[in-house]
């Protein structure tokens, strides 16, 4: 087990395509400013190495890069250096294969891909077991979907799926920002 962040090799990817809409159709969603900030801040807090923003749309990639550069190089970086530390984690990619290629190059090893889903999936792995593996330093990519969630074609490709986040009732419609924050806390918080 780690006593600091140095052993962790965990990345997060936020997928904007392919994801599903309310009807289950495959769509591409828009990048939103607060997804960048909130997930980068949670990522930095819990020792994530990179936060991959995945969209195939050139204009959306450009928008994302402009926002990030405001906070990492522009006025924002001087006004709020803590925010700079968080947004420095962000990298923009076109698709999951490109993310996997870049992470494999970084760690010299293919990461295990772990999906999260608001609906129960077969063969889920427990948070405790996954936490143990991540704290041991296993290269891992946590995959999150925008809109109504990851497309089935992505869910089929992953190595493991985490169980849905639930209270004591039936309702579980969290924002992706909330879901990422909770899952990082469950997997990577310092419990001492």
Q: Interface with its own copies by CB under 8 A: which residues?
A: 2-5, 8, 34, 37-38, 41-42, 44-47, 82-83, 85-86, 165-169, 171-175, 177-179, 181-182, 184-186, 188-190
The Cα 141–Cα 159 span in angstroms is: 10
Shortest Å, Cβ 5 to its own copies: 4
Q: Which helix (H) or strand (E) holds 67?
A: helix 58-72
Decide: residue 86, CB within 10 A, 0-12 exposed, 13-18 middle, 19+ buried: buried
Q: Which is nearer to its own copies, 9 or 100 (CB)?
A: 9
Q: Which is nearer to its own copies, 56 or 85 (CB)?
A: 85
Which residue intervals of 88-126 are DSSP H helices? 96-107
Q: Which is nearer to its own copies, 68 or 93 (CB)?
A: 68
Shortest Å, Cβ 45 to its own copies: 5
Q: Is the peptide bond before 55 cis (omega within 30 degrees of 0)?
A: no
Locate 189 and state its tokens: 């918080």
Q: Which is nearer to its own copies, 82 or 156 (CB)?
A: 82
């Amino acid at each position: 087990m780690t006593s600091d962040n140095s052993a962790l090799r965990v990345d997060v990817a936020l997928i904007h395509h392919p994801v599903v809409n309310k009807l289950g159709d495959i769509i591409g969603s828009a990048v939103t400013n607060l997804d960048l900030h909130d997930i980068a801040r949670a990522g930095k807090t819990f020792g994530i190495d990179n936060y991959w923003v995945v969209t195939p749309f050139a204009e959306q990639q450009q928008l994302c890069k402009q926002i990030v550069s405001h906070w990492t190089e522009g006025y924002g970086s001087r006004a709020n250096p803590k925010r700079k530390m968080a947004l420095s984690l962000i990298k923009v990619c076109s698709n999951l294969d490109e993310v996997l290629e870049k992470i494999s190059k970084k760690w010299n090893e293919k990461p295990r891909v772990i999906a999260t889903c608001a609906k129960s999936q077969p063969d889920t792995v427990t948070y405790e077991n996954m936490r143990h593996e991540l704290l041991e330093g296993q290269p891992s990519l946590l995959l999150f979907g925008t809109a109504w969630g990851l497309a089935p074609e992505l869910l089929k490709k992953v190595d493991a799926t985490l169980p849905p986040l639930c209270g004591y009732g039936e309702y579980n419609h969290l924002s992706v920002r909330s879901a990422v924050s909770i899952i990082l806390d469950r997997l990577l918080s310092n419990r001492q």
